[in-house]
Structure 1
């Protein structure tokens, strides 16, 4: 078995291989988004799965995992740069108070936040009068944004660009807190995304938090949950060092969020496409 030190080296090397823009855009990185998509795929009802397959095929894709990170790369896709720019604000949300209370006009003006992004693209996905191309595109956004809203630092309440401006040391290397959460902690398992999904699926059904009254908007609750994780004592290490104790405490939290995202994505697709 590899030592903790060796696993930290693997994490750092893999993180350094990520393009520099990843830290400012991605949530979970490719590995986390693929895990969420795969966990959701395994929990789809037959009718929803058939419709997902039809939409993926029409889009030239083979699996949910293959399209899970597509919205993060739009600005690099010829002819889609404008869409990437327009949808950029839909990947995250900044809470404006210390209590993680979602107030739409304040946190999501004109629907330009991850909650608004989910509302928009779930509606398109469920519209049987919309074109197949539009619905296939909406599916990719829905898969991605469900992952985004469950990454705690995509719905935080600090003015630091989701932890990108909070510099930390991880295994003696400089990085930032966002990158630690979107990929580096996950890489300490030293697993490929498919094996990681197997590991999380083997834990059995995840117990979801109870709905928070009086919300009729589950996406807002998912964002509030993320904000509360960020606001917890110790999430931002005062020492600016990510040590073994920090990973031991927070990696299970990150993995629970991945499992919750997979379950909620499956439930959302089952409801929308049934």
Structure 2
């Protein structure tokens, strides 16, 4: 077998990047948060981390809300966006933070829990309450699986002033779009090039979990996303910035990392709820 010298390795990585970037721009995608493909991948990966008990717990609750799998249910909150219910849920897909602030403040940025973090907290409260009906827990699982996923897209914890990057125009390899869409749907394309969920779970085992304050954990994870948005998504970008391979090569690993973290954390919480 031929061993590539360093120059050949560098050229191979460059070629792979160019091919992947081309795929990102031409593969059709439904423009939703993380894309349907990203949500479904996270749900399928989370399933790999569930205990047998948790898998049964999930199946029982998905049955009552007519959802086929954890992978598919992650997209429900996007599927209903055009409905009256979907409009009510609209503000729950994100939390915007002033750029002058370093962390999420629930009273300031999520009053009455009307943001993605507060919505996830509300669903956890129902999922962990054994007095709740299967229907109520199924509906909570249905939305929780989406909120925990959205929370890990950094620009869903973006700045107030630009609506999480929606008001920042950029050009990515000649294609004009807003910054939020670049992270939400363009970077997520080409997911078929990532390992299958079963392989990914083997590569990244579920961390050990002790007794956890899940509300506190959610705030911590939200702040992680906000920091990634500040350091990498925004990266001191000016409006109408032209972005290319350097930006892509810095952003893509963060997207992949966040997909894995989202799946692991979804699984941790579901495993804990099922063990109640």
Instruction: Tell me if the contact between 1:167 and 1:177 (Cα under 8 Å) persists in the aligned partners.
Output: yes
Note if contact 2:170-2:241 (Cα within 8 Å) is conserved in structure 1.
Answer: yes
Contact in 2 for aligned 1:90/1:117 (Cα 8 Å): yes
User: 2:10 aligned with 1:8, yes or no?
Assistant: no
CA distance in 2, matches of 1:68, 1:194: 19
CA displacement at 1:272 relative to structure 2: 1.4
1:72 to 68, 75, 78: 78
Q: Deviations over 1:149-199 (max 9, x none)?
A: 111000123511111111111221111211111221232xx3438855356
Q: 1:30 to 1:8 in 2, by over 3 A?
A: same
1:154 aligns with 2:160: no
- Residue pair 1:100, 1:157 contacting (<8 A) in 2 also: no
2:267 paired with 1:266: yes
Is the contact made by 1:206 and 1:259 (CA closer than 8 Å) also made in structure 2? Answer: no
Counterpart for residue 211 of structure 1: none
Is the 1:35–1:194 Cα contact (8 Å) retained in structure 2? no
Change (3 A) 1:182 1:196: farther
Q: 1:55 is matched with which residue? A: 61
How has the CA–CA distance of structure 1 residues 33 and 229 changed in structure 2, closer, same or farther, with 3 Å as cutoff? same
TM-score under structure 1 normalisation? Answer: 0.83
Q: Partner residue of 1:229?
A: 228
| Contact 1:206/1:260 (8 A) holds in 2 | no
Moved more, 191-200 or 152-161: 191-200
Q: Which has the larger radius of gyration?
A: 2
Q: 1:236 to 1:12 in 2, by over 3 A?
A: farther
Larger mean Cα displacement after TM superposition, 233-242 or 108-117: 233-242
Query: 2: CA distance between counterparts of 1:100 and 1:82?
Result: 34
User: How far does residue 39 in structure 1 lie from its aligned partner after superposition?
Assistant: 1.6
Give 2:257's aligned residue.
256
In 1: Cα distance, 2:194 partner to 2:16 partner: 22
CA 1:104–1:85 in 2, change beyond 3 Å: closer, same or farther?
Answer: same
**Secondary structure of 1:83's aligned partner:** helix
Partner Cα distance (2:135, 2:217) in 1: 26
Q: Residue 184 of structure 1 corresponds to which residue in structure 2?
A: 186
Task: Please say if residues 165 and 179 of structure 2, whose CA atoms lie closer than 8 Å, have aligned partners that are also in contact.
Answer: yes
Per-residue Cα deviation, 1:225-257 (whole angstroms, up to 9, x for no partner): 111111116635347122111111111111111
**SS at 2:188's partner residue?**
helix
Give 2:88's match in structure 1, choosing from 79, 86, 89. Answer: 86
Q: Structure 1 pair 242/200, CA: closer, same or farther in 2 (3 Å)?
A: farther
The answer (yes or no) to whether the contact 1:31–1:193 under 8 Å persists in 2 is no
> Secondary structure in 2 aligned to 1:95?
coil
Give the C-alpha shift of residue 103 in structure 1.
2.0
Q: 1:163 to 1:207 in 2, by over 3 A?
A: farther
Q: Confirm or deny: 8 A CA contact 1:68 1:143 kept in the other structure.
A: yes
TM-score by length of structure 2 reads: 0.83
